Amino acid sequence: MAVMDELVYRPAPVSEQILEAASDAAAQCGYDQTEEALLDHAILDVRWVSGDSVRSLYPEFLEPPCSFAPDEIVRIDWLTWAVPLRFDGRYEKSVITRAESIVVAVSTLVKREVFTYGLGPEYNWLEWQDGGSPPEDLPDGVFEALGELIAGDWREDVREDAEMDPNYLDNLHPKVRAAVTEVIEGRD
């Protein structure tokens, strides 16, 4: 596979349809669906890859079975935030933040056919790469989703965990404390 740092981009606007499909791809592929719950995601950038870069770095994808058009390839950079499905009592400390990039054909993207498992062209993307260090600060949307998980799927586990420590609430991040308080006090 090519190195994404070698890509050259062409200036062109990205349609709302492509941006929506990019967001869907991040929400579908940016976490382990069998082991994690997705809390939030953000698209950092969507850029058109130049046809010359595609021909030079991904020639195998221009032939069957893929036959992608070299001028219809984009690079998407995203962040995702997820937590293990199983409650571990660590709340925001268990959040897994990922920065990833994908090079994909627009036709595949807008048909929502970006997959995470397969071999070679069956992946339906040209290249996937882990990004640099993601930001350490969690956005408010992550805390809101954590609150929903605390009040929902983790409800009973949160109650059991809190029963073991009379100072339980004192050790929590202020942005999860309200959700945990509601669960402990039995409010719906």
The CA-based angle 10-116-53, given to 5 degrees, is: 20
Q: Counting Cβ atoms within 10 Å, is residue 166 exposed (0-12), middle (13-18) or buried (19+)?
A: exposed
Phi-psi region of 11 (alpha: psi -120 to 50; beta: other; left: phi over 0): beta
What is the pTM for the complete model shown?
A: 0.88
- In tens, the pLDDT along 97-151 reads 999 999 999 998 998 887 655 445 555 678 888 877 788 899 999 999 999 999 9
User: Which one is predicted more confidently, 188 or 55?
Assistant: 55
| CA 169/CA 81 separation, integer angstroms | 24
Q: Minimal CA–CA distance to 73: which of 105, 113, 118?
A: 105
Residues 52-68: tens digit of each pLDDT: 999 999 998 888 888 88
